[in-house]
């Protein structure tokens, strides 16, 4: 079985940057990939260059177990990669972030909670789509229900409500498996429970961070500024991977810390406390990328961009889920 690496448009159409495909020759593997991923993938594949273990390949070249085949469309190089691999779905995380910023500025607690639930729901749907491509069942409805319950209980009961919401998330996924036969396997329950926990705790945490129980109601402002700037600049460095001396993980972590400290300074908040908060955000944003890659592809590979249009929210949800406990501890 050969490892097939996909780039640019082929990666988007397949929903993954790396797949395993059987075939005796390069041509067999390429044809099998075209059959697996559909007509648009096959049409794009017609103009792609094919490499076997770093050398340009011929369809008749034999393939051995462990060989690596790379499929590169014409746009996979230089500046063309930036424009040619653009997908309309790439703007969705930015739009969702903009909506959350506007809702935060509006100051309506109910709308803020509804916006968080909607963001968590879109993220869960994206995860579900990746799971489907891998042939895995995923309880998306249970995840969305967990986010709704998290918003309601945390608004009504404070920190106790967040605890109950987290417990509900686990029960919801397990119950879904009891009542729907296709969701009873560990492959469905484990990722479903993980995503439900993140959705529920992330929504609850950000609802509580704006509530009367928060040690600083302005903490959400720091969270939004730090997370949006850190993920945006990290993604920019990731896109322009040829920039020397920079990597997306370092940029994401450093920007998260600096943004938290500078926002606290200019808002006349507790700078020392928000330095610790920024450190927490830095760790969770980077760790979230690994967690998201595991959920979307089944393997932890920080050096590979995970498939999906809500990938930036992998780290954001993990950071959100721990944000309220952290500010309660350090502010």
pLDDT in tens, 130-149: 777 666 788 999 999 999 99
Q: What is the pTM of this model?
A: 0.74
Q: Which residues pair with 3 in a beta bridge?
A: 20, 68
Rounded (10°) angle between helices 92-106 and 219-239: 160
Q: Give the tens place of pLDDT for each residue, 165-206.
A: 999 999 999 998 888 877 888 888 888 999 999 999 999 999
Is there a single domain that holds both residue 71 and residue 110?
A: no
Contact call for residues 249 and 302 (beta carbons, < 8 A)? yes
- Average pLDDT of the chain is 86
- Which one of 84, 118, 145 terminates a domain? 84
Claim to verify: residue 216 and residue 296 sit in the same structural domain: yes
Given this model, what pLDDT does residue 39 score? 84
Can you give the CATH number for the domain in which 59 is found? 3.10.20.30
Asked if 133 and 302 touch (Cβ cutoff 8 Å), the reply is: no
What is the structure's pLDDT at 74? 63
Domain span at 79: 2-84
Give the count of domains, the chain: 2
């Amino acid at each position: 079985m050969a490892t097939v690496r996909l780039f640019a448009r082929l990666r988007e159409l397949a929903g993954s940057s790396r797949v395993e495909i059987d075939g005796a020759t390069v041509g067999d593997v390429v044809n099998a990939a075209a059959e697996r991923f559909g007509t648009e993938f096959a049409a794009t594949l017609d103009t792609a260059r094919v490499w076997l273990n770093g050398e340009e390949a011929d369809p008749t070249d034999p393939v051995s177990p462990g060989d690596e085949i790379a499929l590169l469309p014409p746009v996979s190089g230089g500046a063309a990669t930036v424009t040619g691999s653009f997908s309309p779905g790439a703007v969705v995380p930015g739009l969702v972030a903009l909506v959350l910023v506007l809702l935060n500025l509006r100051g309506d607690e109910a709308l803020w909670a509804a916006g968080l639930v909607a963001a968590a729901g879109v993220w869960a749907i994206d995860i579900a789509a990746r799971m489907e491509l891998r042939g895995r069942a995923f309880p998306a409805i249970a995840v969305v229900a967990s986010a709704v319950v998290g918003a309601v209980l945390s608004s009504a009961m404070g920190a106790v409500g967040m605890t109950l919401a987290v417990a509900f998330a686990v029960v919801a996924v397990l119950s879904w498996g009891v009542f729907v036969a296709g969701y009873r396997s560990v492959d469905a329950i484990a990722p479903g429970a993980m995503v439900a926990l993140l959705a529920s705790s992330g929504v609850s945490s950000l609802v509580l961070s704006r509530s009367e129980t928060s040690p600083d109601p302005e903490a959400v402002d720091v969270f939004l500024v730090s997370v949006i700037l850190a993920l945006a600049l990290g993604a920019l460095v990731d896109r322009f991977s040829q920039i020397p001396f920079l990597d997306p993980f370092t940029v994401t972590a450093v920007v998260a810390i600096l943004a938290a400290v500078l926002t606290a300074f200019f808002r006349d908040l507790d700078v020392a406390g928000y330095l610790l908060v920024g450190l927490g955000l830095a760790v969770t944003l980077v760790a979230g990328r690994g967690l998201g890659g595991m959920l979307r592809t089944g393997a932890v590979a920080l050096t590979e961009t995970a498939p999906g249009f809500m990938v930036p929210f992998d780290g954001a949800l993990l950071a959100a889920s721990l944000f309220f406990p952290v500010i309660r501890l350090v502010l």
